Amino acid sequence: MTQFADISKLRKEGKLREAYFAAEELTLTDPESIWSKRAMMWVVYDYAKQSASLGNQDAFLRCVKKVTDLKVPSDEEMFLNAMFAVVRNMVRKCVGDTASTPFLDSLWKEVSQWDVSKPGDIYSGMLNTFLKVKDQWLGFASFCRWWNFDNLTPNDFTEPTLPDGKKGLSLAEKTYMAYSKALLSQGVKSDIDEWIPRLEELCERHPTYIYLPYYLIKLMIVTGGSDAQIERHIKPLLKKKPNEFWIWELIADSLSDVEQRFSALCKAMTCRTPDRMSIALRERMAILLLERGCYAEAKHEFEEVVRIRMENKWRIPASIHRYLSQQELTDVLAAKDNRVLYLQHSAWAEDKFIGTAKPVVVQVTHINEDKGFVSFVTKQRNSGFFREKSSKRRKSINKGDRIEIMVVKIERNKPSQVRSWRKIPAQDDD
């Protein structure tokens, strides 16, 4: 104990070199003593903190390997928590650095040998640490299989409450999504087939996990799942997010008929989507329109892709320039707006997956700016409301205005299924 205290004093004074040699001598003198091991553990921890930077990866790995060699017992939770905090900080610094792949492989090799109680907070912390490099680390899927999803704790499935009061993603949901994404990228059918039943079971147990069904459907599409099976999972998702472009793009991917797929993509294009998020869909649609001979409409979408990329200072792929230089596009003026075309062709997808809509003239009775709701009453005195996300669109109407809504079903106690609406000009009033 006295020697341990002396080494601790050297550490506090910043004399790490002296502390290391003293700890090394202590471990040689009394290798079985937990205090000998603790003295070296905490000196190694100090060295790890010092070397936790991208320029010192080799030094950091030497510290991590030393922890492995020390065979730190699982009940040394204070040390393991502290060491994993340093590891987490180091991994965070690797985010976006593709050259760090060999380092991450070596880091995992070492920490996988540490004696950590599982399941448990420290073990879940290890998962959360490597989750930070999920999109760049090729070993992430293998890491997840080694970590073993059976070790998720009940707390890992809890959705945290964010500062704004909304629910965030649980560790379990984030990990299931990341692993599914990795499987999609790798495309190993046997791994996907093994994973689908587990993902399907989690989707059924946790219906509040909105984005997991998206990956389930994507994986089913890759492995050739039946149309009925895929549609069974699409419809509940569609009820929750009927106006999200990515759901309609997902539906398109699940369809084999060319015209039906085009209809679903047209529906996706009618959804109000931030430019930054719609760019891949716009490029996909531009190519389809070009193939269909809709040259003016295709040129419009290609030019939109260029505009969005320029506004965000993103690189414009050479393929976009090649498309725009084709004679079919250079010889025509770009269409001003493709919305009418998309509305015309989206009818099949809407009727198939939402239900047939009909026009109904209603009068606006109230506009809730805070929640984005527009309340109305029909000629038959049936009342309802629908959500309008665009504040610009909401502010274009007032209480007492008459609008025509394309509605599937008018609801009293929840938002009505309104696909679109238009204000009726005063001169058109009865």
Kindly report, residue by residue over 44-57, the tens digit of the pLDDT. 999 999 888 888 89
**According to the model, what pLDDT value does residue 163 have?**
85
Percent of the chain with pLDDT over 70: 97
Judged against a pLDDT cut of 80, whether residue 10 lies above it is answered with no
In a domain, 300, yes or no: yes
Reported as a single tens digit per residue, the pLDDT across 124-135 is 988 998 999 998
Mean pLDDT over 369-388 rounds to 93
Domain containing 414: what range? 357-428
Comparing C-alpha atoms, which of 158, 95, 167 is closest to residue 121?
Answer: 158
With bands split at pLDDT 50, 70 and 90, how would you rate the model's confidence at 241?
Answer: confident
**According to the model, what pLDDT value does residue 157 have?**
93
With bands split at pLDDT 50, 70 and 90, how would you rate the model's confidence at 227?
Answer: confident
**According to the model, what pLDDT value does residue 3 have?**
72
- Calculate Rg over the CA atoms of the chain: 29
Shared domain check, 160 and 195: yes
Mean pLDDT over 101-122 rounds to 90
Please tell me the distance from the alpha carbon of residue 249 to that of residue 251, in angstroms, as a whole number: 5
Shared domain check, 190 and 86: yes
Mean pLDDT over 397-405 rounds to 93
**According to the model, what pLDDT value does residue 429 have?**
55
Structural domain ending residue among the three candidates 218, 247, 279: 218
Please tell me the distance from the alpha carbon of residue 249 to that of residue 206, in angstroms, as a whole number: 24
**According to the model, what pLDDT value does residue 6 have?**
66
Q: Two tokens at 369?
A: 């700016």
Highest mean pLDDT among 286-290, 356-360, 425-429: 286-290
In a domain, 390, yes or no: yes
Contact 167, 174 (CB under 8 A): no
Mean pLDDT over 407-420 rounds to 88
Q: Is omega for the bond preceding 163 within 30 degrees of 0, making it cis?
A: no
Mean pLDDT, the chain, whole residue set: 89
Shared domain check, 313 and 177: no
For residue 401, report the phi and psi dihedrals to the nearest 5 degrees.
-70, 150
Judged against a pLDDT cut of 90, whether residue 352 lies above it is answered with no
With bands split at pLDDT 50, 70 and 90, how would you rate the model's confidence at 268?
Answer: very high
In a domain, 232, yes or no: no
With bands split at pLDDT 50, 70 and 90, how would you rate the model's confidence at 174?
Answer: very high
Please tell me the distance from the alpha carbon of residue 124 to that of residue 158, in angstroms, as a whole number: 13
Shared domain check, 378 and 287: no
Please tell me the distance from the alpha carbon of residue 91 to that of residue 28, in angstroms, as a whole number: 33
**According to the model, what pLDDT value does residue 357 have?**
83
With bands split at pLDDT 50, 70 and 90, how would you rate the model's confidence at 209?
Answer: confident
Mean pLDDT over 208-213 rounds to 85
Shared domain check, 324 and 361: no
Comparing C-alpha atoms, which of 241, 318, 246, 234 is closest to residue 281?
Answer: 246
Shared domain check, 133 and 55: yes
Shared domain check, 105 and 19: yes
Mean pLDDT over 69-85 rounds to 90
**According to the model, what pLDDT value does residue 405 have?**
92
DSSP state of 162: P
Question: Partners of 373 in the beta sheet?
Answer: 368, 387
With bands split at pLDDT 50, 70 and 90, how would you rate the model's confidence at 23?
Answer: confident
Shared domain check, 123 and 50: yes
For residue 384, report the phi and psi dihedrals to the nearest 5 degrees.
-170, -175
**According to the model, what pLDDT value does residue 99 have?**
86
Taking residue 345's Cβ as centre, other Cβ atoms within 10 Å add up to: 18
pTM for this entry: 0.72
Contact 347, 339 (CB under 8 A): no
**According to the model, what pLDDT value does residue 239 have?**
82
Instruction: Find how far residue 24's CA is from the centre of its chain.
Output: 47
